[in-house]
Amino acid sequence: MTLPTYGTMSVDWEERVNFDRLRRERLARVRGALDRSELGALLCFDMYNIRYITSTTIGEWARDKLSRFTLLPRGDEPIMWDFGSAARHHQLHCPWLGDRSRAGISLLRGAMTPEMGRAEDLARKIKRELEARGLHREPLGVDEIRKWKELFDWPEENFYVPDEALESMRTTIPRGREMEREWSKRYEAWAAAEPELAAEWERRLVQPEDELEIVQATQGG
């Protein structure tokens, strides 16, 4: 044969799709754009952007949740945060990430209440990485923001929140707290009636960082 077949399966007698090259060149393009910008780092929540930068992905259910995030610092390698089990999966099966696959999730498009502290936890994670590289005083580029501003014709200014959105949020928060209190009462009644099931439920609700530690301990590191 004079031409490679580019089949869907890898073989030892033909290179076919060079995925290592794909990963290198995609990351190089993003790095080049970052170097030409005024940004010190790029923070991404969009699944497509995360896959382009880190060559990682999880189930389709997560595509619009903004649950995972990655940080690409200027002059350095990308860092990936994901659900604990997914972070461990990347450690085992994505060697190009090295030790830069971490456990951590975002606010899931607001599904996490402010009291849970996920926003502060995410900010601390990013701040720590930027400080370690001397980039904490440099501009940080965040995807998803400009796209939504263009979609809704909002002005290009920092921390802009339309009046109607702010008013809606202020009325939604107390309503959500009341719903949470009602759910807690129902859960407490169920837990009292079904203690074994409640214990199993609590066990499965460990935080991602704890989950990762448990997986590592049970699998020998």
Can you tell me which residue has the tokens 């448990």? 214
Packing angle of the helix pair 195-204, 163-193 (nearest 10 deg): 140
Which fold is adopted by the domain 19-159? Creatine Amidinohydrolase; Chain A, domain 1 (3.40.350)
Q: Helix (H) and strand (E) counts for the chain?
A: 8, 5
Residue ranges of domains in the chain: 19-159, 161-221
Dist CA 208 CA 221 (whole Å)? 16
Dist CA 56 CA 58 (whole Å)? 7
Higher pLDDT, 1 or 185: 185
Dist CA 183 CA 34 (whole Å)? 46
* Mean pLDDT estimate for the chain: 85
Confidence of residue 30 (pLDDT cuts 50, 70, 90): very high
Dist CA 111 CA 6 (whole Å)? 43
Confidence of residue 186 (pLDDT cuts 50, 70, 90): very high
Packing angle of the helix pair 19-35, 47-54 (nearest 10 deg): 110
pLDDT in tens, 34-88: 999 999 999 999 999 999 999 999 988 888 788 899 999 999 999 999 988 899 9
Q: Are 126 and 108 in contact (CB under 8 A)?
A: no
- Both structure tokens of 5: 């077949």
CA 212-56-203 angle, to 5 degrees, is: 25
- Which residue from 57, 41, 39 is spatially nearest to 49, judged by alpha carbons? 57
User: What pLDDT is stored for residue 149 in this prediction?
Assistant: 75
